[in-house]
A and B are shown apart, each in its own frame.
Chain A
Amino acid sequence: MAQLVADQVPPHEPSGGHGHADAEHAANPYLAHHFDTPKHQFDSGKLGIWIFLITEILFFGGLFCAYAIYRSLHPDIFVYAHYYLDTFWGALNTGVLILSSLTAAWAVRNAQLGEQKKLIFNIVATIALAFCFLGVKYVEYSHKFHEGTLPGRYFNPTHEVWELESYQKAHGQHGSATAAEGHAAAGHEAAEPAGHAAPAGGEAKQPPPGAPVRPRNVGVFFSIYFCMTGLHGIHVVAGIITWGWLLRRAIRGEFGPAHFGAVDYAALYWHLVDLIWIYLFPLLYLIH
């Protein structure tokens, strides 16, 4: 985020030797001495943040690639595992993040127009919504820790898939209506080793007729789930820190029509975090 700093240069003493740009620099304490005009400074920072966002897209691309490979090889695992995710929380978080994108974009407008109070309000709203997002994620994660839907070999659920509300909703009470959905593709039918399949005290559970057999390696879905949402969550935390820093600057009245770059760059980053979630939500929660 070095490009954000370009805008943060402290007021410098007007010194000679800068030629034609001197007047501009004297009038705008936030214009760094190596830029001619505010627009020059803004455009440079903007190019910088876009290049940073490009590296972020490539960074997340690796995880999307892992997802694509694994889902194309084992679609049965994804269908099976997604019943353990609650669409309600995912959809709620999508709404929260989209709303925070609105407040972020609005904050940029406020900074551009020098609307001091509205700017502070919108930054506070963005931070509050970001915490809201993390709160929902906390609810989801802790539920998964309690239910044993954990990554890799730690996947040891306390409930079988046919006991889940989401499964029963999709398949009728007894889960027998759509037995032949192709969950159990040939070759992936093998159940988990006995030690894994039977959680303590739940050995006597009898699957209803037509209930899907647990495919091998369901835990890999949760490895992918935790990696993707975890990395995304780290980005939300980074966003909160950035917005907190901007809030401090906004309260000090450091933003206005000639120097709103930092708000704009942070908002761009925030929209990218939203953008990634826009893809994560259907890929993880809305599997059919």
Chain B
Amino acid sequence: MSDHDHENGHGAPASDEHGHSTEISHVTPVRMLIAVWGALMVLTVITVGVTVVDLGSQTNLVVAMTIATIKAGLVVTYFMHLRWDRPFHTLIFLGSLLFVSLFISMTLLDKSEYEGDIQEMYLKKGQ
């Protein structure tokens, strides 16, 4: 049943708490995992706390998105291993973000295109 001990090239003891690699992939140290989790929790508390402060709706949105992006960066870099992974995976990941932002910004460019028609429609309906 338990076939987990063979083929470990480094012969590392299972209780090793320090970062090391199997021959296949990097193993994230426990301390690092918990530190990242702690940072994510702290940032969550901050992002909730900061909504009490009125910075103007625009600034509040920017602050919230910045904190979310820092959190996302931590998750991707450490939990998702990109720091030790092939750079190609980072490339395609950032590529997808590029295309999503292109998608959203290009669509936002003509968001008001039909606003006139919409207002006219509501005027006709008498609202």
Contacts and interface: CB of A to CB of B under 8 A. Distances in A.
A106 B25 contact: no
Interface string A121-135: 000000000000000
B8 A257 contact: yes
A114 B15 CA distance: 10
Contacts of A139: none
Q: Which among B30, B33, B86 has the greatest number of chain A C-beta atoms within 10 A?
A: B33
Contacts of B127: 190, 193, 216
Provide the main secondary structure of the chain A interface: helix
B51 A288 contact: yes
A255 interface: yes
Contact of A271 (B30, B47, B79): B79
Nearest to B110: A69
A209 interface: no
A197 interface: no
- Give the bracket for the number of chain B residues in contact with chain A: 35 or more
Contact of A256 (B3, B41, B57): B3
B86 A282 contact: no
Interface string B41-75: 10010011001001101001100110110011001
A187 B48 CA distance: 31
Contact of B25 (A65, A102, A264): A264
A207 interface: no
Given A73-B115, A94-B44, A286 B64 contact: yes
A283 B6 CA distance: 48
Main secondary structure of the interface of B (DSSP, over half): helix
Given A47-B89, A68-B108, A115-B14, A252 B8 contact: no
Interface in B88-115: 88-89, 92-93, 95-97, 99-100, 103-104, 107-108, 111-112, 115
A204 interface: no
Q: Which range holds the interface residue count of chain A?
A: 35 or more
A68 B88 CA distance: 29
A255 B89 CA distance: 24
Contact of A105 (B23, B79, B100, B112): B79
A95 B41 contact: yes
Interface in B1-26: 1-9, 12, 14, 16, 22-25
Nearest to B111: A69
A140 interface: no
Given A42-B25, A286-B48, A288-B60, A98 B40 contact: yes
Contact of B92 (A27, A50, A65): A50
A112 interface: yes
Contacts of B44: 91, 94-95, 98, 281
Nearest to A110: B14
B111 A282 contact: no
Nearest to A254: B3
A65 B122 contact: no
A54 interface: yes
A146 B23 CA distance: 55
Given A109-B27, A281-B47, 16 more contacts: A58-B99, A58-B103, A65-B100, A98-B44, A101-B75, A105-B28, A108-B28, A112-B24, A112-B27, A116-B4, A190-B122, A252-B1, A258-B22, A260-B24, A271-B75, A282-B47
20 contacts: A39-B24, A46-B86, A53-B93, A58-B96, A61-B100, A69-B107, A98-B37, A105-B78, A105-B79, A113-B14, A114-B5, A114-B8, A190-B122, A190-B127, A257-B9, A257-B22, A278-B72, A278-B75, A282-B68, A286-B51
Question: Which 7 pairs from chain A and chain B are nearest by CB?
Answer: A114-B4, A256-B4, A288-B60, A61-B100, A282-B64, A102-B37, A257-B8
